[in-house]
Amino acid sequence: MTAVRRQAAAKPRGGGGAAAGRSAWLAADGSKRWGEKFFLFYTPFWLTLCLGVVVPFKLYERFTELEYLVLGLVSTVPAFVIPLFLVGKADSIRSLKDRYWVKANVWIIIFSYVGNYFWTHYFFTVLGASYTFPSWRMNNVPHTTFLLTHACFLFYHMASNMTLRRLRHSTAHLPQSIRWSFEAAWVLALSYFIAYLETLAIANFPYYEFVDRDIMYKVGSLFYAIYFLVSFPMFSSWW
């Protein structure tokens, strides 16, 4: 009996054993963990469609306004629809408004809309950027751009969440000022890397034009990164 009591006392309560064995990359909250995994696993679908099929095979040369809009919808709508039917275990006992994937989608809708509607015009006026493909537009920004930005930003913010979580776990033993310095440096580096990589990724698409492409890569990416400098820490700390 004494041995049994000792074993029971040694066993962590409240699922502590599972938490101790869980990767430092993953969220402790079940809904958030499922949502982040879903958005990451969903990313190759739209990324392959756009950069693996449409761009290299130049299917866009035959696109009209409708085809561009459909491309945006096909890339983005599943992020809202699939989780309604493929429900994670933690989400099965939560109302819809309390599920992480809902909150994440709402945040990205607002954030990407503001960025496209207002921030994009910096690239228009200062860097001479322009969209020249046929499209229905809002404030001179193609509707499909709003949609594709949503899919992109979901991926960026999931990557930010997981890497920041891992960094915080690795630096938890350090003084607060050092931890803050590491986190600030990482957010800055990740923001610029993502901004630059996105600009480079669409280089083969001829209908997003710049007056000076080299300045766009260097300076434009830096200004684009400023948007993420604010968003990544905020998004990571909420919910």
- CA separation, residue 106 to residues 102, 183, 235 (Å): 6, 25, 12
Please list, in sequence order, all residues whose beta carbon lies within 8 angstroms of the beta carbon of residue 186, skipping any fewer than 6 positions away: 163, 164, 167
Q: Give the global pTM.
A: 0.87
Within-domain flag for 48: yes
- Of 89, 70, 194, 87, whose CA–CA distance to 143 is shortest? 70
pLDDT values of the chain reduced to their tens digit, one per residue, 239 residues? 444 344 444 433 333 444 445 789 999 999 999 999 999 999 999 999 999 999 999 999 999 999 999 999 999 999 999 999 999 999 999 999 999 999 999 999 999 999 899 878 777 777 778 889 999 999 989 999 999 999 999 999 999 999 999 999 999 999 999 999 999 999 999 999 999 999 888 877 899 887 777 887 888 888 889 989 999 999 998 76
Per-residue confidence (pLDDT) for residue 134, from 0 to 100: 96
Per-residue confidence (pLDDT) for residue 69, from 0 to 100: 98
Domain that holds residue 220: 27-237
For the chain, how many structural domains are there in total? 1
How far is 147 from 12, CA to CA, in rounded Å?
A: 45
Within-domain flag for 129: yes
Per-residue confidence (pLDDT) for residue 239, from 0 to 100: 64
Q: How many residues does the chain have?
A: 239
Within-domain flag for 123: yes
Within-domain flag for 37: yes
Per-residue confidence (pLDDT) for residue 2, from 0 to 100: 44
Per-residue confidence (pLDDT) for residue 21, from 0 to 100: 58
Within-domain flag for 54: yes
- Of 201, 73, 189, 59, whose CA–CA distance to 133 is shortest? 59
Within-domain flag for 10: no
Within-domain flag for 4: no
Q: Which residue has the tokens 């599972």?
A: 18
Per-residue confidence (pLDDT) for residue 124, from 0 to 100: 75
Within-domain flag for 71: yes
